[in-house]
Amino acid sequence: MDTRSARCGWVGGCRAAALVALLLVTASVPRAQLLDRVLAVVNGEVVTSLDVRAAIVFQLVDQQRIAAGEPAVLEALIDRQLMIADASRYSVREPEEAEVERGLQAIRARFASRQAFETSAASTGMTEGRLRTVVRDSIRLEHHIEQRFAAAAQPTDDEVAQYYREHLTELSRGGVTPTLDQVREAVTASAAAERRARLVSEWLQRLRQRAEIRRLAEAVRR
């Protein structure tokens, strides 16, 4: 039996009623026949095995998580759902269609052919419309993070100098160490990126502490 008809979208598309229906279906079907399983519920939104598979096949989460395996990808999707839900409470610049199209083209380019792309989409229940929504949500989330943390992430002159001193080995080329003035722009950007990553990590930690997260199945291969 194909449980995809019970799905409501990619990550977070099903609420409680659909979840109950999906659980009733999966409870009566042998494990070998299951095409989709609920793996987690995040504040009432479900994350399924097809969501995890699609994230891997289409490279929708970072490569480090993908390399770590399906459990890590599931956690990445939980994080994504938490951040998107929180960002939706704020006024965020909507992605332009050109931005969305560039994102879609980048995903399509990861496949050797259009047929390979379509085969992967069919095997994961991913439609063109859902993929467009994924790209749009990702861009909107990036806009929110930039809007929320860009100013706070900017380092002071003292912090730039400290970052420079702590990374002299990395900054040196051919045994020659550049002066701070020579690499100030690059050092400032790197220090800002490091701080932004820390701020986002702290934000995500707070979201997880407030969230209701239930992992429903030991279905992710380890």
CB atoms within 10 A of CB 58: 21
Q: Following CA atoms 152, 64, 47, 30 in sequence, which dihedral angle do they give, to the nearest 10 degrees? A: -170
What the block records as the tokens of 30 is 């042998």
> Is the Cβ–Cβ distance between 192 and 155 less than 8 Å?
yes
Q: How far apart are CA 187 and CA 191, in angstroms?
A: 6
Domains along the chain with CATH numbers:
3-148 (1.10.4030)
pLDDT in tens, the chain (222 residues): 333 333 444 565 555 444 443 343 333 334 333 368 899 999 999 999 999 999 999 999 999 999 999 999 999 999 999 999 999 999 988 999 999 999 999 999 999 999 999 999 999 989 999 999 999 999 999 999 999 999 999 999 999 999 999 999 999 998 899 999 999 999 999 999 999 999 999 999 999 999 999 998 654 554
Q: What is the pTM for the complete model shown?
A: 0.78
CB atoms within 10 A of CB 190: 18
